[in-house]
Amino acid sequence: MMGTTHAVFALLCYYIIAYFMKLPFDAPAVLTFLIVGGLLPDIDHPRMFLIQQNYLFKRRVRRFIKHRGIVHSLLAALVATTIVWVIARLYNLEMLTVECFLLGFISHLAADSLNPTGIMWLQPFSKKKIRNGIRTGSATEKAFFTLVVVAICAVLYTAHPEAFSSLLKNLQF
């Protein structure tokens, strides 16, 4: 999946949970950690924007890990979330930011499970892949992206109809 698809899918997952659990829809730190978690597993992708900006880091990453390898696993999600938890404790961030980071990471893994290449969720303990048929950048992924955006709009409208209506009035087409 493309980065934008991962980001909107993470947002949809959070907004559905936020709707039912009465969590904030617009907390900047929470949404930032959610999106970072949703994009971080692709740190092993050679064309990831942040990797391309740092040649030395790019060479090190490519030497030790392959795309959709160990970084695309539950073990990586737990290790990364532990690091984020330590950072959150040091900077007195609310635990919801840590939970959203984990949700973003897991949503990334779930979305990549829809790809024909798939991922090994239990790596390094198991090599079993979970996969499906949505190719990265394909028309099917674009349709999936559109469906997710429409679902986000539906959740936002259900949760805050007055704010959503006001937003639509302010958009200029």
CA 30 to chain centre: 13
Which positions ≥6 away from 8 have C-beta within 8 Å? 145, 148, 149, 152
Say if pTM beats, i.e. exceeds, 0.75.
Answer: yes
Q: Which of 141, 167, 160, 118 is nearest to 9 (CA)?
A: 141
Measured torsion, CA atoms of residues 54, 56, 61, 62, in degrees rounded to the nearest 10: 100
What pLDDT score does 11 carry? 97
Query: Taking Cα atoms as reference points, which of 38, 128, 48, 20 lies closest to residue 81?
Result: 38
Count of domains forming the chain:
1
Q: What is the pLDDT of residue 165?
A: 82
Question: Can you give the pLDDT at residue 62?
Answer: 58
pLDDT at residue number 171: 79
Residues of the chain short of pLDDT 70, as ranges, are 46-67, 172-173
Instruction: For 45-100, give the DSSP string.
Output: -TT-HHHHT-HHHHHHHHHH--TTSTTSSHHHHHHHHHHHHHHHHHTT--HHHHHH
pLDDT at 52: 52
For 89, the domain range is: 3-170
Cα 115 from Cα 15, distance rounded (Å):
23
Instruction: Please report, as a single letter, which amino acid is at residue 8.
Output: V
What is the rounded distance in angstroms from the CA atom of residue 150 to the CA atom of residue 86?
A: 35
